Amino acid sequence: MPRMTFIERDGTRREVDAPLGLSVLEIAHRHGIDIEGACEGSLACSTCHVIVDPGWYGKLAKPTEDEEDMLDLAFDLQETSRLGCQIIMTEALDGLVVKLPKGTRNAMG
């Protein structure tokens, strides 16, 4: 099974099983990682914002315009920021490393 690493807000590294076909948000929730995901992956918020390790960023599918619009609302936006609900685990992403931002901003309704 593929694995991925979350770097939590306090710097703790957690390597976890990352089943194929699940989003980074779903994987985080499965392992008790502190990512909110207020809109449950419907691209209506930025609370699942993660910062992708630069070595991995280029291996991801390009963000959609809708994802980019939501990222504009994210707290602590970085060049390699993505929404965890939009990164789907594949064999090619085995070993993926993402960092949680310092905080989140929930701009939902």
- pTM score, two decimals? 0.92
Instruction: Please tell me what DSSP assigns to residue 43.
Output: S
Q: Please give the average per-residue pLDDT across 20-38, as a whole number.
A: 96
pLDDT digits (tens, 9 = 90+) for 83-102: 999 999 999 999 999 999 98
pLDDT above 70: residue 105: no
- Cα dihedral across residues 43, 107, 93, 29: positive or negative: negative
* Closest to 14 in 3D by CA, of 1, 25, 3, 26: 3
Alpha carbon 69 to its chain's center: 16
| Helix H or strand E segment including 32 | none
pLDDT at 75: 87
Alpha carbon 61 to its chain's center: 13
